[in-house]
Amino acid sequence: MSDVTRESMEYDVVIVGGGPAGLSAAIRLKQLDPGLDVVLLEKGSEIGAHILSGAVLDPVGLNALIPDWKEKGAPLNVPVREDQFYMLGEAGKLRIPNLPMPPLMNNHGNYIVSMGNVCRWMAEQAEALGVEIFPGMACSELVYGADGEVRGVVAGEFGRNADGTPGPGYEPGMELLGKYVFLGEGVRGSLSKEVIAKYDLAAGHEPQKYGLGMKEIWEVDPEKHHEGRVTHTMGWPLGSNAGGGSFIYHLENNQVYVGFVVHLNYRNPHLYPYMEFQRFKHHPMVAELLKGGKRVAYGARAISEGGWQSMPKMVAPGVALLGCSVGMVNVPRIKGNHNAMLSGKAAAEAAHAALQAGRASDELSDYEKTVRRGPIGQDLKKVRNVKPMWSKWGLTASLGLGGLDMWTNDLLGMSLFGTMKHGKTDAEATELAAQHQPIEYPKPDGTLSFDRLTNVSFSFTNHEESQPAHLKLKNDMVPVMDNLPKYDGPSQRYCPAGVYEFVKDDNGRARFVINFQNCVHCKTCDIKDPAQNINWTVPQGGDGPNYPNM
């Protein structure tokens, strides 16, 4: 709040977000100049608490940043030994041969990892170099300078009452100011969203596209476990209702990552992404793997899927956007962590050069050039048409044409299709409920499939209930007066944590309820709400999920 008086601290670079992008930037800055004052702020209770990813990690980013990562004990313990691709029907499956797959789809040399644990290890490397890391410090506001440049952030505000007024233990937080500010908040970060809007950074670029990724960790029967196996599926249960697919990764200790991604440009508002995931686990192939096992963790997060043509301008005066704040996921590879690391490294190098030249608070244009012209741009440009093909022509056609396009890009450095457009935002893609049939979902059995609230307890999510809800409605009337009659209240289905519900009173009138305590910070509501009426903001620091090994 602008009327609050706060103390301030000055740094050379202020980094928001303790994911692979922010940590890479911090490490690289101190590698280049140990004398730089670098601070990294993370809203989770610890580094890694809010990190959720597949994840099969391409180590190219880590190789560039810390070449001796093996000797330093990085938790990359399970090399990929086997790649499998399946097209699923309701009761059967068809193995897709590996041979015709473009070379970039090969996972040889990659590792099945917990990105939460990789980030915890990266934080140790950063602290050893002298980076100041403050977990549990949500950054709630940007601080602007006299000329409109980003000067810093407000972090560590605690103790507001539910109505927003300061409570008895109120702490106003501090202003952390820097010559440059890096935003590595991940997908749809609240400060990044503000910067993109304020400086019109998305002008001339396609709208960002998103998917919702949901993931469970299972301990399975050792006889069914195949360490290093990577399996991807498409088709059932989504069919023509939505794009998406699954991943099943066998890591160490008889554990398996079971994940499901639903592209958020689906048209039918009756679609229930979480229940599609739960239904998927009843496919005979998956059910046989999980039979006799137990689920030990659950989480969800949005994934940026727009790729090359959706990346906004990445810099504005005093600020640079890193990693998924820009959208650097290679959709067919289902990988973005390597690009996040490379982006953090590139931003650090650009900032270091600027500081050496006596500059501050200007645009780090060299960072953007490095991203677009270097390895990140080359990685994303090759696959730029896969997502729009899938959206326009469906799964079957996009498999053939997308594969052809990736081959020609890889061999010839060109596309027969040019650069295709995405068109509508995911919110705009939602059609009226009357245009679609409701979808009947089987009830979770409590063994393979689970209700949302039970599963959310396995994300170890906690929010202090006396604080203001961090999910803000622009207009309180829209959910009941607009979204419910037109779209059958899709928020009660697209949220993977059961945050939103419509409750009827004794007279049958609906009331919109926000159970913000359940929120796993996936940002889906901010993306998919048809009226764009929900604004996701940060709760007080340390609140949210506490993912163990995601």
Residues 180 and 45 in one domain: yes
Which pLDDT value is given to residue 397? Answer: 75
Residues 500 and 370 in one domain: no
Q: The CATH number of the domain where 122 resides is what?
A: 3.50.50.60
With a CB cutoff of 8 Å and minimum separation 6, the contacts of 547 are: 48, 49, 50, 51, 52, 116, 297, 299, 459, 460
Which pLDDT value is given to residue 167? Answer: 93
Q: Of 366, 382, 398, which one is at a domain's C-terminal end? A: 382
Domain count along the chain: 2
pLDDT, tens digit, 9 for 90 and up, residues 159-198: 999 999 999 999 999 999 999 999 999 999 999 999 999 9
Across 237-355, where does the E strand assignment appear? 244-250, 255-263, 294-304, 315-316, 319-321
524 within some domain: yes
Q: Check: CB of residue 500 under 8 Å from CB of residue 487.
A: no
Which pLDDT value is given to residue 44? Answer: 97
Range of the domain at 539: 450-545
Distance separating alpha carbons of residues 330 and 110, to the nearest angstrom: 15
Q: Which residues of the chain have pLDDT under 50?
A: 1
Residues 161 and 59 in one domain: yes
186 within some domain: yes
Residues 50 and 155 in one domain: yes
320 within some domain: yes
300 within some domain: no
Q: Is the peptide bond before 287 cis (omega within 30 degrees of 0)?
A: no
Residues 476 and 377 in one domain: no
Q: Of 365, 382, 399, which one is at a domain's C-terminal end? A: 382
pLDDT, tens digit, 9 for 90 and up, residues 239-261: 999 999 999 999 999 999 999 99
Q: Of 332, 347, 382, which one is at a domain's C-terminal end? A: 382
Residues 375 and 480 in one domain: no
Which pLDDT value is given to residue 2? Answer: 55
Which pLDDT value is given to residue 105? Answer: 84
163 within some domain: yes
Residues 459 and 319 in one domain: no
Q: Check: CB of residue 301 under 8 Å from CB of residue 213.
A: yes
170 within some domain: yes
550 within some domain: no
Q: The CATH number of the domain where 521 resides is what?
A: 3.30.70.20
- How far, in whole angstroms, is CA 209 from its chain's centroid? 12
Q: Which of 295, 257, 18 is nearest to 136 (CA)?
A: 18
413 within some domain: no
Residues 359 and 467 in one domain: no
Residues 365 and 504 in one domain: no
Residues 324 and 187 in one domain: yes
